[in-house]
Structures are given as structure tokens and as C-alpha cells.
Structure 1
Amino acid sequence: MKKLLLSSIAFVFLLTSCGSKTKGELVGVQGKKWYPEKPYGMELIPRGSFIMGKSEEDQAKVLNAPTKTVTVRSFYMDDTEITNSEYRQFVEWVKDSITRTKLAILADELGIGPEEGGIGDFVFKDADTTKASVYDKYMLDNYSGMGETGFEGRALNKDENLIWDVSEYPDEYYTEVMDSLYIPEEESYNGQRTIDVTKLKYKYSWMDIEAAARSSRKENKSRKDFIRHEELEIYPDTTVWIRDFEYSYNEPMHNDYFWHDAYSEYPVVGISWKQAQAFCNWRTKHKNDDQKSKGKQFVNKFRLPTEAEWEYAARGGIEGGTYPWGGPYVISDTGCFMANFKPQRGDYAADQALYTVEAKSYEPNDFNLYNMAGNVSEWTNSSYDPNSYEYVSTMNPNGGDGSNERKVIRGGSWKDVAYFLQVSTRDYEYADSARSYVGFRTVQDYMGEEDSTR
């Protein structure tokens, strides 16, 4: 019997060995084949080195950009500034999510289900939170912008279309929820119902990798000590058109610029650095929700470019150029201005634009990026320190400092003189400030090309 047992074990081992695909060799863990796609609306900026800083005369004598040869890795960058239309997609998503959350909570509290119709059509789809994955709970817990509700981890019903027409509200409970989203009647005028934008908040979490990496083991900190939680209003500050310019009539821009279809393809402004960061988080989540639904691997995060990445991309591969098109002139050989800025004293319209222009205006640089000079200045991920060029690394340099609220902006804007359009000129704004002349564009780290043979 013992011999028979040993023979059986040997036979099974033999079969297992013969059937092995690795034949005992070290072949590594076989994961899914990775076929990254080029992100929509982005251009691949190939890795390379360049001389960062003021290689030409420092006319302003600020002495904050001494030349330094640095190298950056490959990355994707939006070919235009983020537009009003694109940012409105973020705002609409937040509004939709908050509305559905409020409807679902009230329906749950009232014990109304889909069989009763009305607000019951928007009841939570998954009442059993134990069925939600860690990813599901993370996504559900972090978008409501309503603080702690006690309903975290409950899946919203997104199959039903929201009803915004007052005359079509299905019941009084639905009306109650919708009315809570609008400003009070006594604050309305001209019969207009306006959403209370202060209620449009986005909540998310992120991990401070740099702080964690620099933390001493003696501090005995756990992973949770480096997880940061953010919650902020995400609607653009449209009052910037009034506050930025005293004794100037800019009321039409305040009233219409962000929401009207006439300005859909214009760069969004009135966005703080913190709001731009929130947009990057949402864009990553929005894409990965789709990846998850298709069973695909997640993409890496969208983010703001570092100061070095921005300058490298703006140069478009032209070494030593003054402007994205090379330079040193801002007028083409046909006599046309090359960007949207303030070309002459008080003459904002000499370049065929008064305020901003559409994001795809003028000629792109050699990396096919539009308006890297002029139109709107752009937020970067880097903190501003006049001496940062002296100490940042020569490999993927970044003057990141969480305690420094001054953030670098680059590229100059429609209200700036030509000096600020130069690819090496540095400027800054505070992270919580918003301006009528500051926007942003996003980047994503490069992880390989899509397989063209598929």
C-alpha cells in the first residue's frame, strides 16, 4: 500500500512537471499585456535635456532663473489649456453626484423604494455595504462633498435621468431636495433660479508620498499619517473679472464667461491652484471608473506639470529660444502677432484679441501645444522660491514644498507684456487665489506607447 501511494505521488509530480509552461525557469510573474493609449487631447513630450532658465538677458533683473542644464522624463501634456467646457464637465459631475446623493438619502430615510416611483426611483442601488469593494467604497466616499452622511459605501442609482424642469418634478420630496440646491428666493432676481455654487464641493484623498519617503523610521508613523483629505468648492470664481480690474467695466465677462456656450472653447479662469489639483484628481477618477467598467488596468494619475516640465514643453525642442516659436520677436514675418498678450501700452486689441481667445488659437509650437505663451498664465505643481534653481535636482527638478503657498505660474497672459511670455520667465500666485488671467493644463506620466500592430 505504501509503495502504491509513493508511486501515485511520483506520477502526479511527473504530470505537473511535464505540464509546466515555465519548465522551472525564472520567467517572472506573467501579468496582463500593457497597451497604454495616448490620452485624449494630449501630446507626447519626449524625454530630453535642456538649459532651464534665463539664457538671454534678464531684463527685469530679478535674478531668479540662473541657467541650469536639466533632464526631464517623457510625459503627456494637454495640447491646450483646460477649457470652460472641460471644466464644466467636472462641475456638472459634482452637481449630479450631490443631487443623487441627497435624493437617495431622503428616499432611504422615508423608506420609499422604486416600486413607489417619484423620489424612490433614486434610492441607493446597493443597500449592503459589505458587497462594495475597497475601490468602490473609496470612490463612493470621496465624491459627495457633503461631509459625513452615514451613507458612505452605498451605490448611487445613475440609471435614472435627473429632472431639472420644475414643472416635471415627480413629487414633493423631489421638490424639497432640488429646492435645497438653489439660492433662496429672496436672493434671486429677474425670475432666474440659480444653483447655490457654494454647495458644489468635491471631496477626495491623496497620499503625500514625498513626506512619507522623507519620514524617519524613528518617528514610527504609519501609512495613514500621510493620507491627506481635501474638501473644497470647485465652481470658478467669476468675480475675478471685476476684482482684478478696478474702475473697469468687465461685468459681461463676469456674467457670461464660464457658463455661456459662446465661451465653451475658451480657457477656464478664476481657478485656484487647489481647485486645479481637485480637477486632476477627478479626471483620474473619471478615467479609471471607465477603465474599471471595461476590465482594463488603471491609468496613472493626471496632475499639474512641474515648472521644469512646463518650460521644456513650452520650448518645443528649440534650444535657447526666447518664445515657444523661437524668437526673439513676437511678430511673424507677415506682420501678425504670434500670441495673445498686451503688445502695446493700453492697446489690448492690437493682437486681434481683447481678453482671452479660444484655446486652439495662433500656431502651436513644435510639440503641437497651443498658447504656451499668452492667453492665460498656467499653474504648475512647483512652489516658488527665488533660489530654487540653485538647489533642485538636475533630474526631473521640482521645487515642491507643501508649506510654501506661493505656486509658480508660467507663460504670461492676455493682460501681460511680452517679457512674461518668454519661456524662461518665472512668476507666482498664492495657491488659494484665483485670477481672470490664470488657467492650467494637465500632464500624465508616460508609460510606453500603444501597440500599433493590434
Structure 2
Amino acid sequence: MKKLLLSSIAFVFLLTSCGSKQKGELTGVQGKKWYPEKPYGMELIPRGSFIMGKSEEDQGKLLNAPTKTVTVRSFYMDDTEITNSEYRQFVEWVKDSIVRTKLAILADELGIGPEEGGIGDYAFKDADTTRASVYDKYMLDNYSGMGETGYEGRALSKDEDLVWDTSEYPDEYYTEIMDSIYLSEEESYNGQRTIDVKQLKYKYSWMDIEAAARASVKGNTSRKDFIRTEEVEIYPDTTVWIRDFSYSYNEPMHNDYFWHDAYSEYPVVGISWQQAKAFCNWRTKFKNDDNKSRGKQFVNQFRLPTEAEWEYAARGGIEGGTYPWGGPYVISDTGCFMANFKPQRGDYAADAALYTVEAKSYEPNDYNMYNMAGNVSEWTNSSYDPSAYDYVSTMNPNGGDQSNTRKVIRGGSWKDVAYFLQVSTRDFEYADSARSYIGFRTVQDYMGEEDSTQ
């Protein structure tokens, strides 16, 4: 019996070793070949060191940006601020997902499947057991009823387009759901049906790696202790155009700026730091969902830039420059203003713009970044501390204290004087605040360039 067992083991070993391509050598795990691609609308900012802080006179006398030589790794950065059009893509995706979820849940409660048509066309994918994968069936059998709503993890069907024309609604159940996402008649006027934007919430999870790393030395920690869940209302606060300026007529901007096609290529404003973070998470998910469908490897996350990354990109490789174009002047040799800001007291239009301008306006800096000075101030990932430069690392510095709700904004805006346009000037706003003069752009860590020979 013992001989038989040993023979069996030897035979199994022989089977597992036969035909091995490694031939006993240490060749590493053979994964997928990595063919990175340059992210759409982004420019590569090459790694390097620079003198961060105010090498010129600190006119504000804030003493919050002493000079410090730091080094940052390579990263991609949006060449413009995120535009209204780009942010509307996020809003439309969230709206579509919410409507489909509502339709799928009602179809499930009514027991209506795809074979019955109507609202059944929007039932969860696993509702059609003839088409459900083994994985879908497993998830339905083992995880149905779990989670906050009991429907977490169930895939939505996107085979059918949503119907927005009321005259073409497929049945009364569909009508019921669609009616629920609009404001009531009491809150509407001029016969307009308006989406209830407070329902447009994006929910996502992320892991607090820094907190987990600090806690790991103490032991007795669990991964789930550091998973954070956020749910954010993502529609821009359009009332900022009124609230930011008392006794000022800005109703046209409140009414039209975000949704009208005339402003599609203008930077989105009225976005809080939390909303900007939610957008970054969605953009990562949107790209990786597409990559998954194509069998491609996931990309790393889109995120807000650190304060150091933002300043490094704004300088465009120019050492000691006051502005992204070098400086120290804000007027070109031809007598034109080089950014959108408030050049003179009460005169917002001297630079040929009253409010914001299109995101690709004025000349880019040497890294091909547009409007790193003026137009809108931009959120960064860093928390604001006046003494941060004294203690942050000289390698990829970041003051990322999660408990500090004051977040650094950079670049100055259309309503600011020239001091705030300087690449070294620091300012802040609270994370839950939205302003008519604050927008953002995203970055992504560099992981190599695409192989042009493939």
C-alpha cells in the first residue's frame, strides 16, 4: 500500500513537471504583457526636482511657502481643467445608473423578467436564468439579500436604451419610476420637467492606505477597518454664482453655465473637493470597466494632484519663474494679458473675459498645460497647513491629513488679482465648499509609455 502511494505521488509529480516551459529556471510569473497608453486629454509631466515655494518676494507676507528643494515622480495631468462637458458625462452616467437600478428593483419586486417586455427589459441580468452565467447564479444564490438594499452586487442590464420621451414609455411601471426622478409639480414652473438633482448620488468605497500602514505596526488590525464608503451628491451647486457675489446680477450664469452647450468647453465650477474626489473615482471605474470588457489590464487610479505636483506642472520646467510662462509680467510683448484674472480694481473684463473662458484659452506653458494661472482655481489632494513645508518629505511631498478639512487650491481665478496667479502662492478652501471660481483637473501616475513597435 505504501509503495502504491509513493508511486502515485511520483506519477503526479511527473505530470506536473512534464512540458514545463521554465525548464527549471527562475523565469518569473508569466502575466499579461503591459502595453500602457497615454491617457486621453493628458500630458506627461516628467519626474524631476525643483525649488518649491516663494523664491520671489512674498507680497502677502504669509510666510507659508518657504523655498524647499523637492522631487516628484512622473505623472500624467489633464492639459485643461475638467470642463462642463466632461463633468456632465459623469452626471449623465450617474443618472442613467440610478434610473436603471430603480427599474431593475421594481421589476424584481413584481417578478417581471425580460421575456415579458416592458419594465422587464430592464430587469437585473441574472433575472434571465437562461442567459445568466455560472457566476451570476452563484452570486444570486449566496449573496441575495445582503447589503444595505439587498441588491448590491447584482448586474444591471444595459441592453435596452432608456426612454425619455413620455409618449414612448413602455408601460405604467416604467412611467412610475421615471416620474419619481423628477421634481413634483409643486416644485416645477413654466411647464418644465426638471430632474431632482438631489437624487443624483454617487456611492463608492476606497481604502485608507496611510491609516492602515500606520496601524499595522500595532497589530490586531483588519483590512475592513480601513475601507471607507462615501456617498456624494454630484450635481454642481449652480447657486454659487449668486451666493459668491452679493448685490450682483449673475442669474444668467446660474441658469445656463453648467448645462447649456454654449458653455460645454468652459471649466466646471460649483464643485466641492468631495465631488472632485468622487469624479476621480468614477473616471477610474469608467475606464477600467471598458478595459475589462476588452480583456485589457486595469489602469491605475485617476486622482487629484498633490500640491507639489500641481506647482511642478505649473512651472513647466522653468526654474524660479513667477508665473507658468516665467514672468515676472502678466502682459505679453504685444500688450495682451496672458491669463484670465482681475487686472484692475473693479475691471474684470480688461483681459477680454468677464467670467471664465474656454479651458483651452491663452498659451499653454512648456508642459502644454493650459490655464495653470487664472480662469479657475484648482483643488489639490493636499490639506492646508501654513507650516507644511517645514515637515513634509522632500520626496513626493504631500500634506494629506484626512482630518484637516482645509484643502489647498492653486492657480488663482478669473476674480483674483495677479498675486494669486503666481505658481508658488498657496490658498485654501474647505472640502465641503463649492465656489464659482474653483474647478479641478486630474492626474494619473506614470507607469511607462506605449510600445510603438507593437
Gaps of 5+ in 2: none
Distance 1:140 1:159, change over 3 A: farther
Shift of 1:110: 1.2
Aligned residue in 1 for 2:193: 193
**How far apart are the structure 2 equivalents of 1:58 and 1:238?**
34
CA deviations on 1:97-135 (whole Å, 9 max, x unpaired) are: 000010111111112222332212111111499999999
Distance 1:111 1:328, change over 3 A: same
Aligned residue in 2 for 1:215: 215
Shift of 1:341: 0.4
Shift of 1:242: 0.2
Identity over aligned pairs, percent:
91
**How far apart are the structure 2 equivalents of 1:147 and 1:134?**
21
Shift of 1:10: 8.8
Shift of 1:149: 2.1
The worse-fitting range, judged by mean Cα deviation, of 143-152 and 307-316 is 143-152
Distance 1:6 1:242, change over 3 A: closer
CA deviations on 1:417-437 (whole Å, 9 max, x unpaired) are: 000000000000000000000
CA deviations on 1:238-288 (whole Å, 9 max, x unpaired) are: 000000000000000000000000000000000000000000000000000
Shift of 1:148: 2.8
Contact 2:146 2:152 in 1 (8 A): no
**How far apart are the structure 1 equivalents of 2:143 and 2:361?**
34
**How far apart are the structure 1 equivalents of 2:422 and 2:178?**
48
The worse-fitting range, judged by mean Cα deviation, of 6-15 and 40-49 is 6-15
Contact 2:181 2:199 in 1 (8 A): yes
CA deviations on 1:353-405 (whole Å, 9 max, x unpaired) are: 00000000000000001000000000000000000000000000000100000
Shift of 1:216: 4.6
Contact 2:42 2:78 in 1 (8 A): yes
**How far apart are the structure 1 equivalents of 2:238 and 2:453?**
48
What's the Cα RMSD here? Answer: 3.5
Aligned residue in 1 for 2:320: 320
**TM-score of the superposition, structure 1-length normalised?**
0.93
Shift of 1:335: 0.6
Contact 2:125 2:132 in 1 (8 A): no
**How far apart are the structure 2 equivalents of 1:439 and 1:286?**
21
Distance 1:13 1:286, change over 3 A: closer
Aligned residue in 2 for 1:285: 285
The worse-fitting range, judged by mean Cα deviation, of 201-210 and 26-35 is 26-35
Aligned length: 454
**How far apart are the structure 2 equivalents of 1:422 and 1:271?**
23
Shift of 1:2: 12
**How far apart are the structure 2 equivalents of 1:97 and 1:164?**
14
Gaps of 5+ in 1: none
Distance 1:134 1:421, change over 3 A: farther
The worse-fitting range, judged by mean Cα deviation, of 127-136 and 295-304 is 127-136
**How far apart are the structure 1 equivalents of 2:144 and 2:260?**
26
Contact 2:341 2:375 in 1 (8 A): yes
Contact 1:140 1:155 in 2 (8 A): no
CA deviations on 1:279-302 (whole Å, 9 max, x unpaired) are: 000000000000100111100000
**How far apart are the structure 2 equivalents of 1:142 and 1:262?**
50
Shift of 1:33: 1.1
Shift of 1:23: 2.8
**How far apart are the structure 2 equivalents of 1:46 and 1:71?**
11
Distance 1:311 1:143, change over 3 A: farther
Shift of 1:186: 0.8
Distance 1:246 1:86, change over 3 A: same
**How far apart are the structure 2 equivalents of 1:328 and 1:145?**
63
Contact 1:204 1:231 in 2 (8 A): yes
Aligned residue in 1 for 2:390: 390
Shift of 1:22: 2.5
**How far apart are the structure 1 equivalents of 2:385 and 2:197?**
34
Contact 1:378 1:439 in 2 (8 A): yes
The worse-fitting range, judged by mean Cα deviation, of 348-357 and 214-223 is 214-223
**TM-score of the superposition, structure 2-length normalised?**
0.93
Distance 1:384 1:98, change over 3 A: same
Shift of 1:25: 2.0
Distance 1:99 1:191, change over 3 A: same
